[in-house]
Structure 1
Amino acid sequence: MKKLSLQLAGGITLLGAIAAMPAMAETNVSKISQAMSSDAVAQNVTSVSQLSDVRPTDWAFTALQSLVERYGCIAGYPDRTFRGNQATSRYEFAAGLNACLDKINEIISAGLADKVSKEDLATLQKLQEEFAAELATLRGRVDALDAKTAKLEAQQFSTTTKLSGEAIMSVQGGSGNTGAPTSTNVFVSSRVRLDLNTSFTGSDLLKTRLEVGNGTVNIPTAFGAGSGPAGSNIGFQTYGQDYTGLAGGSTFTLAKLRYDFNIADARVSVGPVMHAYDHIDTNSYANNEAVDFVSTFFINNPLHVLVNNQTGGAGAAFDWNISKSAFTLRGLYLAGNGAQPAATAANNGGLFGDAYQATAELEFAPKNDKGEKPFALKLLYTNGSVANTDINAGGVNVEWKFAKGAALFGRYGFGSTKRTPILGAATADLSPQTWMFGLAFPDLFKEGAMAGIAVGQPFIENKVGNATQTNLELFYNFPVTSNIRITPDVQFIFNPNNSSANSTIFVGTLRTVFSF
């Protein structure tokens, strides 16, 4: 960039002052400069004192003061800083120059030409000549962006709703011996989700999900895995793919319908079709059957996600970050048969009947210097009833990214269940425990990829069986493109159904996920 020695009234070059600018506001050109920067949104200022890092002793203070207060063509970053020592490109400089030209043109058009000094006009004229090529390029980009925006607005699905989708196709099979009447062959499964995300105010969200799949029976069922209360995660059917065994089969089902909105510092959700895993017991490395582990056990704690069928339950949840600190409090209530007005032999239905769960969660997750949360510790308490089984449980959920490409995570749960019989036991009262621990390797071999390995025991109770079932799962999620991912996954189930008489089960899965 050629040095220009044309002076402003304050004795500082206009070139030096504008060159230090962040993206300008209130112009189409500013949109381009904002797109070039990670600090996206500029903040208008009317006084140089509003810029927290600009001081009267700074060499460009007088020039900045003039440009802000005389012409109003400087904006700060979202945190009200100016960052005058930050390097700028010729295109960013041209965007700032164009913003000042527009402001001065507005002043002249308003009949206030006497407020613009001849020296400033001469300087701007020479700057305009110096950056003619860049200004032409930026204006060409703006015209193209305006045309593209107009086209998208004319052809968009909705002014308030965005459509997104996910399709899972997988091949899986298993081998082993649990004494079940049938064994499994290699077979294929699929699931398609269509999400309609609607916002009326910009901060709220009405989420509607339609879901369909072809899998109605999964591998654990084929192996005769013992189960706990119907519709819950409790039991030994924990190595089934989370996206198979859909109640609706090949018929589209309303799989989610809830409304999220803000009340002060809390995010509140209400709806007739909600799921616990959206609000509690989340984990960055073991919580998404499309990205990480396929089995239900490693996705959620079986003692804390009780209402876990495809259509979830009716209820409400909140997420409250306490005074913008490292502590967050969450609460959830779900009724699995909230839409059922009459009692049945299996449950008494309704919003406050079986099945239901009420969960409270307290999270401690401090931010580091980069604003990230590499460590999170969550304490949970759940009270519920599923299939006439009363459940009280406590739990812990932890994750820690201790290196750039490595993290550990785990869950532990303990509690009590009351029902006769349950899981084949002769006693009405059980005190089960459950745990899992794993390692994740983000960006392994490729950015966006992730590998993971986890081991755990879904149901530890010496009154049930003569051994403890142990699950081991490994996966590698590889992004082929930004919209296609392939994941090989293997599982080993030792002592299935808490019985040493049952041989080890092997389950292999090749999962492909398309997102759009």
Structure 2
Amino acid sequence: MLTSFTGKDRLQTRLQARNITPFNSGVTGTNMTRLGYDGSLNDNNNVTLQKLEYRFPLTQQAVIYLSATGGEFNDNMFNFNPGFDASGSGAISRFGRFNPIYRESAEGTGATLAYNFSKALALSLGYMTRPNVANNPAAQFGLYDGSYAALAQLSFRPSDVINLGLTYVHSYYNAAGGVQVSGTTGSAFANQPFGNIATSANHYGVQANLRFSPSISLSGWAGYTTAIAEESIPTTVARGNSAKIWNWAATLGLSDFGSKGSLLGFVFGMPPKVTDNDISAREDNDTSYHLEAFYRFKMTENIAITPGVFVIFNPEHNSNNDTTYVGAIRTTFSF
């Protein structure tokens, strides 16, 4: 629900109920097969306040987003993958929606500032703490030793034809909140390079979107992460151990394909992979590839049906694992 008090501000309230099981370690053995709109094993159709956010203009050039719950960086700034980014109408897979760098916000609590220097140049700054996990006080708030993420993004969008972005995020995860360095989109090692212990990380992202015509859009990104162990485990992990993680993808969108408002989309990329780790046993030795195709067919102004399929080659960056196929049909009702 969207509410405005002045005509320039916006209060967004979202109630959500779902029972879509995550296709991850408990189902397929890997987070690489997660859907873009899945939930938690504990959702059970319970109605929750999924998002409460207030947006208002600070000046003619600056906009503030205050997120009480459900805050996500990808919602508050351009993420350079238009048509693919929305959970209800974009890519079928979690990885295919946008660069995992934006997932460091983890539906948290915090604030984002978007400042437009001009029509072409914009700066976004954000800070999010992780949400409460299983009513564990140690998993809340990022002011001291809780989990948090701080983002800075510079966007260069001189026209509708070309859009470029540079993004940096510094994140910290404590064990109580669960370590998810790669936003649960890559391998087990990419999400927990040192296991579930306190971990900090520096994430760097380069994104681009090229629109060759009103109906053809090509997007892509590359992401690089350095993770650092902030705790020690005797004989296993030493504080200061580091790991390097890479991911990349390219997407192609064909708008109004077949009918006005429809979208044919393709995704190809490499989910987050640990290429180097001071703990050599937690490196990914092979390479997984993600290949996806979906078609969002707009039946009416209010109903869209999206069949899609994606394939993971060498799941968990392990060539010994069989290729995994995931198919889904999503129906979206808009009011």
TM-score (norm. length: structure 1):
0.54
Matched, 1:284 2:89: no
**Residue type matched to 2:253 in 1?**
A
Which residue of structure 2 aligns with residue 488 of structure 1?
A: 307
Distance (Å, rounded) in 2 between the aligned partners of 1:352 and 1:315 = 14
Report the Cα offset of residue 487 of structure 1: 0.9
Distance (Å, rounded) in 2 between the aligned partners of 1:450 and 1:276 = 24
Conserved? CA contact 1:337–1:351, under 8 Å: no
Conserved? CA contact 2:151–2:170, under 8 Å: yes
Which residue of structure 1 aligns with residue 68 of structure 2?
A: 272
In the TM superposition, what are the counterparts of 1:26-425 in structure 2 within 5 Å? 196-218=1-23, 221-225=26-30, 237-246=31-40, 247-264=42-59, 265-273=61-69, 274-280=71-77, 282=79, 283-308=81-106, 312-322=107-117, 324-337=118-131, 343-344=137-138, 347=139, 349-367=141-159, 373-386=160-173, 387=179, 388-419=198-229
Residues 426 and 281 of structure 1: is their aligned pair in 2 closer, same or farther, counting only changes over 3 Å? Answer: farther
Conserved? CA contact 1:242–1:295, under 8 Å: yes
Distance (Å, rounded) in 1 between the aligned partners of 2:288 and 2:78 = 22
Which residue of structure 1 aligns with residue 190 of structure 2?
A: none
Distance (Å, rounded) in 2 between the aligned partners of 1:261 and 1:479 = 32
Gaps of 5+ in 1: 1-195, 226-236, 368-372
Conserved? CA contact 1:272–1:338, under 8 Å: no
Distance (Å, rounded) in 2 between the aligned partners of 1:453 and 1:221 = 27
Distance (Å, rounded) in 1 between the aligned partners of 2:15 and 2:100 = 25
Report the Cα offset of residue 357 of structure 1: 0.5
**Residue type matched to 2:248 in 1?**
W
Report the Cα offset of residue 249 of structure 1: 2.9
Conserved? CA contact 2:64–2:114, under 8 Å: yes
Distance (Å, rounded) in 2 between the aligned partners of 1:451 and 1:484 = 16
Deviations 1:18-59 (A, max 9, x none): xxxxxxxxxxxxxxxxxxxxxxxxxxxxxxxxxxxxxxxxxx
SS in 2 for 1:238: helix
**Residue type matched to 1:376 in 2?**
N
Distance (Å, rounded) in 2 between the aligned partners of 1:488 and 1:460 = 28
Conserved? CA contact 2:64–2:111, under 8 Å: yes
Distance (Å, rounded) in 1 between the aligned partners of 2:134 and 2:21 = 23
Conserved? CA contact 2:133–2:140, under 8 Å: no
SS in 1 for 2:209: strand
Deviations 1:243-272 (A, max 9, x none): 222353311111111111001111111121
Deviations 1:139-178 (A, max 9, x none): xxxxxxxxxxxxxxxxxxxxxxxxxxxxxxxxxxxxxxxx
Residues 340 and 333 of structure 1: is their aligned pair in 2 closer, same or farther, counting only changes over 3 Å? Answer: farther
Q: CA RMSD in A?
A: 2.4
Conserved? CA contact 1:313–1:335, under 8 Å: yes
Which residue of structure 2 aligns with residue 461 of structure 1?
A: 274
SS in 1 for 2:96: helix
Deviations 1:91-138 (A, max 9, x none): xxxxxxxxxxxxxxxxxxxxxxxxxxxxxxxxxxxxxxxxxxxxxxxx
Conserved? CA contact 1:436–1:454, under 8 Å: yes
Conserved? CA contact 2:218–2:252, under 8 Å: yes
SS in 2 for 1:400: strand
Conserved? CA contact 1:339–1:350, under 8 Å: no
Deviations 1:381-433 (A, max 9, x none): 00011232211011111111112321100111112012379xxx978311111
Distance (Å, rounded) in 1 between the aligned partners of 2:144 and 2:254 = 42
Which residue of structure 2 aligns with residue 191 of structure 1?
A: none
SS in 1 for 2:104: coil
Matched, 1:510 2:329: yes
Higher relative helix content: 1
Deviations 1:472-505 (A, max 9, x none): 1101111000111011101110110111100100
Residues 441 and 377 of structure 1: is their aligned pair in 2 closer, same or farther, counting only changes over 3 Å? Answer: same
Distance (Å, rounded) in 2 between the aligned partners of 1:330 and 1:340 = 31
Gaps of 5+ in 2: 174-178, 180-197, 277-282
Q: Which moved more, 1:332-341 or 1:392-401?
A: 332-341
Conserved? CA contact 1:198–1:205, under 8 Å: yes
**Residue type matched to 1:271 in 2?**
S
Conserved? CA contact 1:442–1:450, under 8 Å: yes
Distance (Å, rounded) in 1 between the aligned partners of 2:270 and 2:56 = 37
Higher gyration radius (CA): 1
Distance (Å, rounded) in 2 between the aligned partners of 1:363 and 1:261 = 20
Which residue of structure 1 aligns with residue 318 of structure 2?
A: 499
Report the Cα offset of residue 214 of structure 1: 1.5
Report the Cα offset of residue 319 of structure 1: 1.2
Report the Cα offset of residue 359 of structure 1: 0.6
> How many matched pairs?
297
Higher relative strand content: 2
TM-score (norm. length: structure 2):
0.82
Distance (Å, rounded) in 1 between the aligned partners of 2:289 and 2:244 = 18
**Residue type matched to 1:466 in 2?**
N
